[in-house]
Amino acid sequence: MKFTKILIHGFWKDLPPFRLVLGLCPALAVTNSAENGMGMGLAATFVLVFSNMLISALRKVIPDKVRIASYIVVIATLVVLVEMIMKSYFFALSQQLGIFIPLIVVNCIILGRAEAFASRNPIYLSFADGLSVGLGYTLSLTLVGTIREILGAGSWFGLNIMGHNFEPFTFMVKAPGAFICLGILLGIMNFWSRRRGEIFIQT
Amino acid sequence: MREIIKLVVVLTLICGISVGTLEIARANLAGRIEKQNDRYIRGPALSRLFAKPADELLENKINLNLDGQKYPVFFMRENGKITGLAVEATGKGGYGGDIQIMIGIDLLTGKIKGMEIIQHSETPGVGAQVEKENFRSQWINLPLTKNIALKQDNGKIQGITGATYSSRAVVDGTNRILKLVTQHRDEIINEIQAKAN
């Protein structure tokens, strides 16, 4: 039962970057299209799942004094692996995401889950935690990317869906649009949560 | 004392295994990455230089080995004669490392057809601006016989403001290629003829 609970907590209760307010930088920077958002989310999920499992496996071996350094080595290795895999099999996407793939190393979600969960829980639970938080992040990024792409470019995953008479709100695919979109989504989610009577940590 | 030994050993092991894994991955994937590079970067660059579809041009390639360095050279043939070359070389001294450039050469007129950036690690928005059309277009129709330099080094090339190292590295790469082509022109043509037949 605990396994199931952990498997779903990343999809609402601890949804990044809205509930678990981490990983905002890529959420703003690479969501100018749905495909980029999903690609970044999946890359981060891959790193998160494996880093959680590895750090959980090593949690009794790594001395407390060097734990952050060790976590970062593990995470950085995984990110370089992801970068190589992307350049080999998804070159066009890796060019689009550009410098943000290496920046997954400093994505707070990964170090955050390693420190808060993987370092004190068994491997199978850490796997579930990584998978659920990672997939939740992917969903969020794809959602923001979808909204920004449809409004800002009239397409979805590259397919033109708004027709040829649609005049796109170009600012939506630039920086201001990212902030506005994220803010409005966060506001809607908070309103919905309050109506359902959910308790917030920050009151 | 024991605690310190444990710290050192654990960190060393983790780093060692990580580096080993990455090396194995790199060895296995390098070939594929090179092919993807060809398809998405070199191909379009060659197309832009010679105004022909990339697939034809990518096959016409030889690897020059001079002074221990490897220089990929693409060639263009018309009616059995070699009319153009695209030489790749590394420009040293970039801000973030070496810059890989490609110069298109028109052998009939003896002038440069254009310059393309193949690979760089320069800062986005600053040094990365060497990729821009208005910087690269300064190379069009330059003669093969004269070395080039930035305006601030008594030359004619307008560098990118605030990106002197990057601009100089591209100039350095160009001069290497010019030297290569003028000094070893016959060797290059012979090797190409050998491969083509």
Residues B154-175: b if buried by 16+ CB within 10 A, e if exposed = eeebebbeebbbbbbbbbbbbb
> Is B21's Cβ below 8 Å from some Cβ in A?
yes
Taking chain A, what is the end-to-end CA distance rounded to the nearest angstrom?
30
**Preceding omega of A17 cis (within 30 degrees of 0):** yes
Q: How far is residue A160's CA from residue A143's CA, in Å, rounded to a whole number?
A: 17
| Nearest in space to B108 (alpha carbons), one of B83, B128, B133 | B83
Q: Would you state the structure tokens that stand for residue B9, as one six-digit string?
A: 């050993």
Q: How far is residue A62's CA from residue A118's CA, in Å, rounded to a whole number?
A: 12
For A25-74, what is each residue's pLDDT tens digit?
999 999 999 999 999 999 999 999 999 999 999 999 999 999 999 999 99
Q: How far is residue A32's CA from residue A115's CA, in Å, rounded to a whole number?
A: 30
> Is A61's Cβ below 8 Å from some Cβ in B?
yes
Phi-psi region of A20 (alpha: psi -120 to 50; beta: other; left: phi over 0): beta
- Is residue A22 over pLDDT 70? yes
| Residues whose CB is less than 8 angstroms from the CB of residue A51 and which lie 6 or more positions away in sequence, other chains included | A71, A74, A75, A78, A110, A114, A118, A130
Give the residue on B whose Cα is nearest the Cα of A70: B11
Q: How far is residue A96's CA from residue A157's CA, in Å, rounded to a whole number?
A: 13
Cα angle A50, A115, A120 (rounded to 5 degrees) comes to 85
| Nearest in space to A101 (alpha carbons), one of A114, A82, A85, A88 | A82
Q: Would you state the structure tokens that stand for residue B127, as one six-digit string?
A: 């040094």
Interface with B, mutate which of A87, A93, A96, A105 (most B CBs under 10 A)? A87
**Amino acid occupying residue A48:** L
pLDDT per residue rounded down to tens, chain B (197 residues): 888 999 999 999 999 999 999 999 999 999 999 888 888 888 888 888 888 887 777 888 888 887 778 888 888 888 878 888 899 999 998 888 889 999 999 888 889 999 999 888 888 778 888 888 899 999 999 988 889 999 888 888 898 888 899 999 999 999 999 988 888 888 888 888 887 76
| Nearest in space to B56 (alpha carbons), one of B84, B89, B32 | B84
Q: How far is residue A157's CA from residue A107's CA, in Å, rounded to a whole number?
A: 25
Whether A203 is in a domain gets the answer no
Confidence at residue A201, expressed as pLDDT on a 0 to 100 scale: 58
- The answer to whether residues A16 and A133 touch, using CB atoms and an 8 Å cutoff, is yes
Nearest by CB to A73, from B7, B15, B33: name it: B15
Q: Would you state the structure tokens that stand for residue A84, as one six-digit string?
A: 């190589």
- The answer to whether residues B116 and B45 touch, using CB atoms and an 8 Å cutoff, is yes
Centre a 10 Å sphere on the Cβ of residue B153 and count the other Cβ atoms it contains.
13
Q: How far is residue B104's CA from residue B102's CA, in Å, rounded to a whole number?
A: 7
Which residues constitute the domain of residue A52?
A: 2-196
Whether A153 is in a domain gets the answer yes
Whether A202 is in a domain gets the answer no
For B153-190, what is each residue's pLDDT tens digit?
888 889 888 889 999 999 999 999 998 888 888 888 88
> Is A98's Cβ below 8 Å from some Cβ in B?
yes
Supply the DSSP symbol for A10: T
Q: How far is residue A139's CA from residue B7's CA, in Å, rounded to a whole number?
A: 39
Phi-psi region of B182 (alpha: psi -120 to 50; beta: other; left: phi over 0): alpha
- Put simply, the chain A residues between 75 and 94 with a CB less than 8 A from any chain B CB are 76-77, 80-81, 84-85, 87-89, 91-92
Q: Look at strands A155-156 and A159-160 and give their pairing.
A: antiparallel
Q: How many domains does chain A have?
A: 1
Confidence at residue A154, expressed as pLDDT on a 0 to 100 scale: 87
Q: Which pTM was predicted? A: 0.81
**ipTM exceeds 0.90:** no
For A170-203, what is each residue's pLDDT tens digit?
889 888 999 999 999 999 999 988 888 877 655 4
Supply the DSSP symbol for B153: G
Token pair 């160009």 is found at: B174
